[in-house]
Amino acid sequence: MSYPTTTPPPPTPTFLKLSYPAPRVLLATMSREKDLNCMNTAAQWEMDSVWKWLDVEPNLSVAVITGAGKKAFSAGADLKEWNNSMADDADPKNRLGNAPAFKPLSRRLGKKPVIAAVNGLAMGGGTEFAVNCDLVIASETAYFGLPEVKRGVAPIGGALPRLIRTIGLQRASEFALTGRNVTAQEALEWGFVNKVVPQDKVVGEAVKYATMIAVNSPDAIICTRAGLRQGWETAAVERAVEVTLEREFAELQRGENIVEGLKAFTEKREPKWKASRL
């Protein structure tokens, strides 16, 4: 298979199916449909390698993640595997709770944006994925939940502090402490879903947004996202601005794309972007 990338993607034999629906756009489909696209330990390591590759692959600017089938985006952690790993004779190092803890996406910082195309239920880690994605497009039939409190565990994959920043303490508390499901429409009203569409259009709509991002300067995408993330992750607005100026914007100013973008504007033509060095 030939890839529209400078290097082939990392192997994804058990969980992710990768495709390229538009220029500079990666589509990653979680493919454990019979298991509601839940993640075992092997799946977490696959996700980790794909997002690291996305950030260094110069011919990609943005990714979309979705779930196989019509029922589930992701049911989160593979609780059967987690239960087995808790046995007295099991190696503690192999416990799912000691794996990357959904760091590959729910705790990912990264450089390039990822859009969630939530095609069905998103439970536990599935919701944690969506909360940390840069945009969320949800199916009308999708719903979200953090049922960990009902299972004796806790949603420790990064969703709790991020939910507070996105929807506020009281709504985040209602969501996480009751364990109740939240519909896509309610999530839209709360502010952690961008758009709700019919189920058969959710991936296409996410790719549409990804394409609107991907046509822009690769350097500017990375720098702008970094500024947004700094503002989300840090408390002080001015410090967030300073960090972005000192790091990503300083690199952007040394690159070719800022020159090309300004020149194309004055010449009234479309810019021809180079691969980002940020």
- Looking at the structure, do residues 241 and 140 belong to the same domain, yes or no? no
Q: Output the pLDDT for position 270.
A: 96
Q: Is 205 annotated as catalytic?
A: no
- Looking at the structure, do residues 50 and 155 belong to the same domain, yes or no? yes
User: Rounded to two decimals, what is the model's pTM?
Assistant: 0.92
User: Within 10 Å of residue 64's Cβ, how many Cβ atoms?
Assistant: 30
Q: What is the pLDDT of residues 153-188, one digit of tens each?
A: 888 888 999 999 999 999 999 999 999 999 999 999
Which residue in this structure is represented by tokens 């004055």? 266
- CATH code, domain carrying 162: 3.90.226.10
Question: In sequence order, what are the residues at sequence separation of 6 or more whose Cβ sits closer than 8 angstroms to the Cβ of residue 40?
Answer: 14, 15, 78, 81, 96
- Looking at the structure, do residues 251 and 133 belong to the same domain, yes or no? no
Q: What is the pLDDT of residues 55-82, one digit of tens each?
A: 999 999 999 999 999 999 999 876 666 5
Q: What is the pLDDT of residues 112-127, one digit of tens each?
A: 999 999 999 999 999 9
Residue 85 has pLDDT above 80, yes or no: no
Say if residues 116 and 135 touch (Cβ distance below 8 Å).
yes
Give me the domain span that covers residue 252: 218-266
User: Within 10 Å of residue 1's Cβ, how many Cβ atoms?
Assistant: 5
Q: Output the pLDDT for position 171.
A: 97
pLDDT band at 4 (very low <50, low <70, confident <90, very high): confident
Q: Is 125 annotated as catalytic?
A: yes
- Looking at the structure, do residues 59 and 137 belong to the same domain, yes or no? yes
Q: Is 238 annotated as catalytic?
A: no
Residue 91 has pLDDT above 70, yes or no: no
Q: Is 236 annotated as catalytic?
A: no
**Which one of the listed residues 77, 159, 220, 226 is annotated catalytic?**
77
- Structurally, how many domains does the chain consist of? 2
